[in-house]
């Protein structure tokens, strides 16, 4: 199952290990280490990073959506692909 992580980007649900908030110092170091190793994927479209998605292949994906929004999509099974449901603009207003 693919889960929308914002702006038309999606991840395979079975590959996700964790979804965490980016604000803490350890998460910032984790992100920089992934960048150095070439395992960082920035899916924010230039917006502020609101969540970090960790995959089973140790790739780190940055998303502009909040952790709660992405987590809800995993549990509901709602990928909200473009043309369905809320848009990214609607989510930013929440």
The beta strands (E) that lie in the chain are given as 2-6, 9-12, 16-20, 40-42, 51-55, 60-63
Nearest Cα to Cα of residue 17 among 64, 63, 61, 47: 61
| ∠ Cα 41 85 78 (to 5°) | 60
pTM for the model stands at 0.80
The pLDDT-based confidence of 83 (bands split at 50, 70, 90) is: very low
Mean pLDDT of the chain: 87
The pLDDT-based confidence of 60 (bands split at 50, 70, 90) is: very high
Helix, strand or coil, per DSSP, at residue 9: strand
Nearest Cα to Cα of residue 65 among 38, 87, 35: 87
The whole-number pLDDT of residue 82 equals 45
pLDDT at residue 57 greater than cutoff 60: yes
Q: What is the domain partition of the chain in residue ranges? A: 2-82
The pLDDT-based confidence of 11 (bands split at 50, 70, 90) is: very high
pLDDT at residue 93 greater than cutoff 90: no
Q: What are phi and psi for residue 70, nearest 5 degrees? A: -65, -40
């Amino acid at each position: 199952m693919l889960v929308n992580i914002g702006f038309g980007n999606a991840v395979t649900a079975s590959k996700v290990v964790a979804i965490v908030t980016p604000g803490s110092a350890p998460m910032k170091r984790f992100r920089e280490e992934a960048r150095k190793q070439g395992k960082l994927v920035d899916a924010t479209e230039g917006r502020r990073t609101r969540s970090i998605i960790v995959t089973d292949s140790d790739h780190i994906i940055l998303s502009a959506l909040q952790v709660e929004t992405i987590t809800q999509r995993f549990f509901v099974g709602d990928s909200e692909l473009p043309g369905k449901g809320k848009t990214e603009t609607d989510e930013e207003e929440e």
